[in-house]
Chains A and B, each alone.
Chain A
Amino acid sequence: MSESPFESRPDETLGRLLREHLTGPDSAAFIVRLRRALRDALVESPWESLSRWSRPGLVAAGVAAAVLGWVALGGRRTVEPAAPASVSAQVIVAGEQTAGDLLIAAVVEGR
């Protein structure tokens, strides 16, 4: 076998020696072990399933909470009536006030 960096054929003698040296024992058993280990690793445990869904679940819960909060807050604003003003305040706000109006307002408020 020539020694050149441009040699493009495998060295069969060296390759055979290395193959014999590097081939571990029980190849078939190794493959069985490997496939079993992969299968076990690929089967998700319930906790892994939960953790896989936890992030999108949290995001969805956050969005739902935000929507509910907005609806509740907005709903209260539209449905809740304005705080009732006192009779006197309503009378005062009503416009021109006469002395009679002020007297009625004072009587109604118990002054």
Chain B
Amino acid sequence: MTQHSHTPPRTLDVDEALDAQAAVAGDAEAFGRLVERHALVARRVAIAVVRNQEDADDVVQDGMLAAWRAIARFDPQRPFRPWLMRIVSNAALDALRRRQVRRTEEIPARAESSEVRPDQATDHALLRARLDQGLADLPEKQRVAVVLFDVEGYSHAEIADILGVPEGTVRSYVFHARRALRQTLAPFMEAT
């Protein structure tokens, strides 16, 4: 795996394996440490999927609780973070589907607009609006793949495990997501 600047050092992997073993044995404190370690990654993935921070925070909380309830089924011989992130990303995808169904039922005539408004004049606001639009235009699994790969430094194999798709599909997701985002963000990427 290519080590990214944000990838935790190896010693944390050992701590994580020990905490995961303890959590499987019912140690809630150990599980709390694991949650703390992965909470912000989970939050970014959830925000990328549901595109609403409050909903994302709820999703992370639900996902972590679901992980605790399922911890007895976790195999401590396997890496913990893809297992946890699979639960959180599934919770985010489920929440998004529920929200889409609710919106379709409640207000069918009005679609959410992610167009950049002319009054968003500052560069920062424009960048945020473009990122919002760029992410909104991507299929959800592509969002998860590009965030985990380019932001969090996960490997293609780990992302494949999380999304339940072949590794080649993950490469394709990342490739298409990057291409679309680079087009949307071109002026900002050239400037940086």
Which A residues are within 8 Å of any B CB, using their own CB?
3-19, 21-25, 27, 30-31, 33-35, 37-39, 41-42
Tell me the nearest residue of chain A to B67, going by C-beta.
A38
Between-chain CB contacts (< 8 Å), 15 pairs = A3-B175, A5-B171, A5-B172, A7-B175, A14-B189, A18-B146, A21-B128, A22-B147, A22-B151, A27-B40, A30-B57, A31-B36, A37-B65, A38-B61, A39-B28
Digit string of B40-59 for contact with A (CB within 8 Å is 1, else 0)?
Answer: 10011001100001001100
Whether A12 pairs with B192 at a CB distance below 8 angstroms is no
Question: How many residues on chain B are close to A (CB under 8 Å)?
Answer: 46
The reply to whether A17 and B171 contact each other, CB–CB distance below 8 Å, is: no
Q: How far, in whole Å, are A37 and B65 apart by their CA atoms in the complex?
A: 9
CA–CA, A22 and B53, complex, Å = 9
Contact, CB under 8 Å: B192 / A22: no
B178 interface neighbour in A3, A16, A39, Cβ under 8 Å: A3
The 9 closest A-B pairs by CB, nearest first: A15-B150, A5-B175, A22-B44, A21-B131, A10-B150, A5-B171, A19-B151, A15-B151, A24-B53
Shortest CB-to-CB span from B84 to chain A, Å, is: 13
Residue of B whose beta carbon sits closest to that of A21: B131
- Which residue of the partner chain A has the closest CB to B173? A5
From A7, A8, A24, A35, contact of B35 by CB (8 A): A35
User: For A14, what are the chain B residues with a Cβ–Cβ distance below 8 Å?
Assistant: 146, 150, 178, 181-182, 185, 189
Per-position 1/0 for B138-167, Cβ under 8 A of A: 000000001101110100100000000000
Docked complex: B167-192 residues within 8 A CB-CB of A? 171-172, 174-175, 178-179, 181-182, 185, 188-189, 192
Beyond the given A9-B2, A10-B149, A23-B40, please list 8 additional residue pairs across the A-B interface where CB-CB is below 8 A.
A14-B146, A14-B150, A14-B181, A17-B188, A19-B151, A24-B44, A30-B39, A37-B65
Interchain CB contact under 8 A, A8 and B68: no
Closest chain-A Cβ to B5's Cβ sits at a distance in Å of: 7
Q: Does B136 sit at the interface, judged by CB under 8 A?
A: no
A18-B131, A22-B44 in contact; A13/B189 too (CB < 8 A)?
yes
Task: Verify if B20 is at the interface (C-beta below 8 Å from A).
Answer: no
Q: Is the CB of B131 within 8 A of A3?
A: no
Q: Mark B97-119, 1 if CB is under 8 A from A, else 0.
A: 00000000000000000000000
